[in-house]
Amino acid sequence: MGVSAEDLQRDLAMFDALNSPSRGGGSIGFQLLKLQPLTLRMEPDHHARAHIHIDYGRVRHTASFAVDTGERLVGQLPRKYDKKIAGWIEKNRGVLQSAWDELKAGEDPRERILANLKA
């Protein structure tokens, strides 16, 4: 069973919270967790290898990751997220590969994929 896209977003936010410098200045309060925008895209038009584009954060940090291995193919997303993303891809490999295959065949798998990644 896969892991939801919301879980990936939460994992990346938790990683940010645990690895960002504390912001002192005499304030007693602190920010526990800040969810950043997360976009997952597939565009199989001219590529043979199944991959997913991931945008995370306020600035569009696009990176592409291979579905078969979870490895980064290209992109500006900070590398500190690679391990979390690779783990998420591994857990969702079947759904992602099916989506890629359907897109390559001219089908629209969005409804099924969204249901699987949200569950």
CA dihedral 102, 103, 106, 108 (to 10 degrees): 80
Task: Look at residue 2 in the predicted model and tell me its pLDDT.
Answer: 60
Whether the pLDDT of residue 97 is over 90: the answer is: yes
pLDDT at 73: 95
pLDDT > 60? residue 24? no
Burial of 85 (0-12, 13-18, 19+ CB in 10 A): buried
Compute the average pLDDT of residues 70-98.
93
In this structure, the dihedral spanned by the alpha carbons of residues 75, 79, 81 and 83, taken in order and rounded to 10 degrees, is: 110
pLDDT digits (tens, 9 = 90+) for 26-68: 455 455 677 888 888 888 777 789 999 999 887 777 899 999 9
- The whole-angstrom separation of Cα 117 and Cα 45 is 22
